[in-house]
């Protein structure tokens, strides 16, 4: 099942479950609450009617004329207590009218102590016996004596409550169904907004899986999908770059191996054919080419170990000023041969690092040798150092022609040369800076470069002090 369908089903199911839960909870709560309300109203109604009847009897000393009041009529004035009876009639008519309008399901029946009905709000049970009639009863008490009983006969049981609850339930059910319908539309929109970016990413991933370079994915917004698309684009560009480096590496290794092998093959064929004598000069040339091959293979092996994090290190405490001065002394002949000033004076004397001196010697030889190779006669190569934020920073600065800005990101890559002709005279094998970077990183440090055309270049090696 597609993610879009799963999301739509999940959202709809959640809304429906929530709606049904709310429906049943409200139904139970509403029924109980409304029942409590009706019960309280009924109790109040009965007490009021009982009070009206007691007041009526107390004012009139009898229930004469009560039937006319209960049935909505006006009793005849017989001349006895007309004023008080009028007051009782008015009060009872107002109260009974209000109560009958509010609780019209009850029939009010008044009977004496013999159980004979003397008043009935419907008027059809006068003179009958109250026996057999069921409903709430209240005794009518005047001056401590029970003078009768009022019975609330429910002839339309629960009709108002049932109608109200039925209407409320229908309203809740309709609201639930409406919410479910809205949930479907909202879930379709949400599922689309979630799955559309994923579909774009899936297309890009499939293209990468086929070995193609995926087109750049554009996802609007500032959410996780936009960040994911950026990460995918960066990964795609990095994979394309790595593939380009891999192809270039194969071509470069083949190129670097082909030249000495061609020379060796040519020399051996000339000797075998008698065109050349195996003189000392020829043997030296063959030995030199064999040395180049061996050095290239060894450099590639060490670089691979460094990049894989498996380069063996023999670390020991080393005084960095003495160490740097020794390397510079060993390269002094090359500086003098080219007419370049090589200085290593600005190095702190009391800094001691735990490093592999052989590996770091190769790092400095590669970096200083690279600086000497590109610095013209009369120039300078200064080796200096400083301690900053628990790091030892070693600077190799030259006054050479500088490195073009577009070449700076690639100078630490294997076999990278600015000279497309790839001549050994100007660039060696192109592994020196890569090896230096790998060895420094094996020590937990970094190598950075800053350069401007016609202003020189500075390489900075950063090593942890502790």
Query: What is the reported pLDDT for 76?
Result: 37
Under 8 Å CB-to-CB from 429, ≥6 apart: which residues?
A: 256, 295, 296, 299, 415
Question: Is residue 74 pLDDT above 80, yes or no?
Answer: no
**Cβ-contact 75, 64 below 8 angstroms:** yes
Residue 294's pLDDT band (cuts 50, 70, 90): confident
Helices of type H across 61-81: 66-70
Calculate ∠ Cα 215-220-221, nearest 5°. Answer: 145
**For a pLDDT cut of 70, what percent of the chain falls above it?**
82
Residue 189's pLDDT band (cuts 50, 70, 90): confident
Q: What phi and psi, each to the nearest 5 degrees, are found at residue 50?
A: -60, -45
Q: Which letter, b or e, does each residue of 246-261 get, where b requires 16 or more Cβ atoms within 10 Å of its Cβ?
A: eeeeeebbeebeeebe
Question: Is residue 244 pLDDT above 90, yes or no?
Answer: no
Query: What is the reported pLDDT for 419?
Result: 52
Rounded Cα–Cα distance for residues 366 and 433 (Å): 7
Question: Is residue 457 pLDDT above 90, yes or no?
Answer: yes
The pLDDT mean for the chain works out to 78
Please compute the mean of the pLDDT values over residues 38-63 and round it to a whole number.
82
Highest mean pLDDT: which range of 22-36, 78-92, 182-196: 182-196
Residue 303's pLDDT band (cuts 50, 70, 90): confident
Rounded Cα–Cα distance for residues 394 and 15 (Å): 65
pLDDT (tens digit per residue) in 364-378: 998 999 999 899 999
| Domains of the chain, first to last | 3-160 (3.30.450), 224-306 (1.10.287.130), 313-464 (3.30.565.10)
The more confident residue out of 448 and 9 is 448
């Amino acid at each position: 099942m597609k993610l879009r369908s799963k999301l739509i089903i999940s959202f709809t199911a959640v809304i429906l479950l929530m709606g049904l839960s709310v429906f049943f909870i409200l139904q139970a709560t509403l029924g109980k609450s409304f029942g409590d309300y009706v019960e309280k109203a009924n109790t109040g109604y009965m007490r009021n009617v009982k009070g009206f009847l007691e007041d009526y009897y107390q004012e009139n000393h009898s229930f004469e004329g009560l039937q006319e009041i209960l049935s909505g009529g006006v009793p005849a004035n017989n001349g006895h207590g007309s004023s008080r009876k009028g007051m009782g009639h008015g009060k009872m008519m107002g109260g009974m009218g209000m109560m009958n309008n509010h609780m019209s399901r009850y029939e009010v029946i008044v009977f004496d102590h013999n159980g004979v009905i003397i008043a009935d709000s419907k008027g059809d049970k006068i003179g009958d016996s109250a026996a057999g009639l069921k409903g709430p009863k209240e005794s009518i008490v005047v001056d401590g004596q029970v003078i009768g009983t009022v019975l609330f006969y429910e002839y339309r049981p629960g009709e108002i409550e049932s109608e109200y609850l039925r209407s409320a339930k229908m309203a809740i059910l309709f609201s639930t169904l409406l919410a479910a319908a809205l949930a479907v539309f909202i879930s379709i929109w949400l599922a689309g907004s979630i799955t559309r970016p994923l579909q774009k990413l899936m297309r890009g991933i499939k293209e990468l899986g086929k070995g193609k370079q995926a087109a750049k994915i554009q996802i609007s917004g500032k959410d996780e999908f936009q960040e994911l698309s950026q990460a995918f684009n960066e990964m795609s560009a990095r994979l394309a770059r790595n593939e380009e480096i891999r192809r270039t590496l194969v071509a470069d290794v083949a190129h670097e191996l082909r030249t000495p092998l061609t020379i060796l093959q040519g020399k051996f064929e000339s000797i075998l054919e008698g065109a050349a004598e195996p003189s000392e000069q020829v043997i030296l040339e063959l030995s030199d080419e064999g040395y180049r091959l061996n050095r290239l293979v060894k450099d590639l092996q060490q670089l691979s170990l460094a990049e894989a994090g498996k380069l063996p290190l023999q670390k020991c405490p080393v005084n960095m000023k003495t160490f740097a001065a020794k390397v510079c002394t060993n390269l002094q002949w090359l500086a003098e041969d080219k007419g370049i000033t090589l200085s290593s004076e600005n190095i702190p004397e009391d800094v001691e690092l735990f490093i592999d001196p052989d590996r770091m010697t190769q790092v400095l030889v590669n970096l200083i040798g690279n600086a000497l190779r590109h610095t013209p006669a009369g120039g300078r190569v200064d080796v200096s150092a400083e301690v900053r934020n628990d790091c030892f920073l070693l600077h190799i600065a030259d006054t050479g022609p500088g490195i073009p800005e577009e070449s700076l990101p690639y100078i630490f890559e294997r076999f990278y040369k600015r000279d497309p002709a790839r001549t050994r005279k100007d660039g060696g094998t192109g592994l020196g800076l890569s090896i230096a970077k790998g060895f420094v990183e094996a020590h937990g440090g970094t190598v950075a470069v800053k350069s401007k055309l016609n202003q020189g270049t500075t390489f900075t090696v950063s090593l942890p002090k502790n």
